[in-house]
Structure 1
Amino acid sequence: MRRAYPWSFFIGNILSAVYTVLFAYLTYNYVFLGQMETRFADFAGTGDYISYVVLGGTVYSLAVSMLMIVSRALITELREGSLEALLLTPSSRKGYFLGTGLQGLMRVGIEFSFIILIGWFLGLNLTHINGLTAFIVLSITIGSFFAQALVLGSIMLYFRDTYITQNTLFIVMALVSGVTFPVQYLPGWLQPLSMMMPLNYGLQAFRSSVIEGSGLWASRNELTSLIVLSLIYFGIGIWAIQVTEKRVVEKIFD
């Protein structure tokens, strides 16, 4: 496990989320002295900024980890020289990605728990959490990240690039998905991008279940959008992977 999945990925994802939460905590308490404008509560649905940012940073870290784990699978095979052998096997490609994602959940679960623990020490309020709803919402959200990762993986395999492609997506996700501030604060021309990000809908539903203790019915619109978006990403991803694999095989045998 240590040879295949470096500890640097694990530690880096945790530190990235912790830095986001810690920066928000220091800014909120020592720069703005715990004061928020009235529009924040209207847009976010809560006046608890610390809980808002902690949950945003935690789920964002979850999204980054799942996207990296699944999307980098095939291009890692290509770099290691095992992609040709993999493509010649009769194994299910969906099963291959599903197995990769399930294995990654073990590491992601540790990261998630660790960040939540740190957030709790910084002021995350869990007194109203609806545990069952939060678990269901998180499961659906993880499924959406899996579907999005298929599209990202096909793009990275096509261009044979990981760094620029994945980090561009991660930056856009952090900006337009409401990780540290509501989407309504964005310029009008940027807000439609948030509708393309599963993270946006997953965060809204997850925050509602944790901060307010709301049930599934209260987040039905966000969950519906999340499921529809997941199906779209999944369909595009499976098709794109098949097309990209053919192109890669042609280059291997040229």
Structure 2
Amino acid sequence: MNSDRSLLLLFSAFDSIILLLINCFPGASADNNNNGINIDVGAIIDFNSQVGKQQKEAMEIAAQSFNNYSNSLNISLHFRDSRRSPLQAASAAEQLINETKAKAIIGMETWKEAAFVAELGDKAQVPVISFSSPSISSPPSSIPFRWPFLIQMAKNQTANINCIADIVHAYGWQNVIAIYEDDSYSTDSSGMLALLSEALLKTNSQIERRLVLPPFSSLSDSKGFVLDELIELLLSAKSRVFIVLKASLPMVIHLFREQCS
């Protein structure tokens, strides 16, 4: 997600927050309230990821823009680090709800983080606005019933998988190699592989080989490991078409650097 896209999503998110909170502050207007009403909003992001840094920047710009425009409401952002951990995200959400008295919570880079935070949001009746894609194992129709206070800003991965299959079909590739980085906090990797396999079969293509890589942060010699895995693939597979389904930015950089070298 680039900064421009993050900013657009966040403007939509703030619009949703205002609509949800307007009934709680019926007197909040430029005519009746010259001092303005402060609204505390929690933001749970990964401080160390590039996406998290972009989201933080976009949130701050969006909040400043809204505050400059509004004479009656003022958005105060409270950032917490998820460390890309569902448990850490849940702990941060609990603190934001109970201590900071956040009226809404935004962020969550992974679906599992969003699900954990949504559970707490439902109990406290605090809207949770997530930018992560819903889990493939969670039917879209069931999500509003399970988490009524959850607002999704991203669609299911099915459309993305079908798009990949269409590209493969357009180029006439019969075989592809699927690569993804294993993530202990993600349950969607196997589901994405199954969806891709099914979508490719409809176009008379198939996944020839699958390469599951360990988390990049767990590798002591990341460059050597990635190179060895790619060499083994190139020696044993006929296909030269690689589809990276899911990987961190450092892993993607290493993959493309070794493939191009």
Q: Where on the TM-score scale, by shorter chain, does this alignment land: which range?
A: under 0.3
Q: Which of the two has higher C-alpha Rg? A: 2
Point out the structure with the larger helix share. 1
TM-score, normalising length: structure 1 = 0.25
Give the number of the structure with larger relative contact order, counting CA–CA contacts within 8 Å between residues 6 or more apart: 1
Point out the structure with the larger strand share. 2
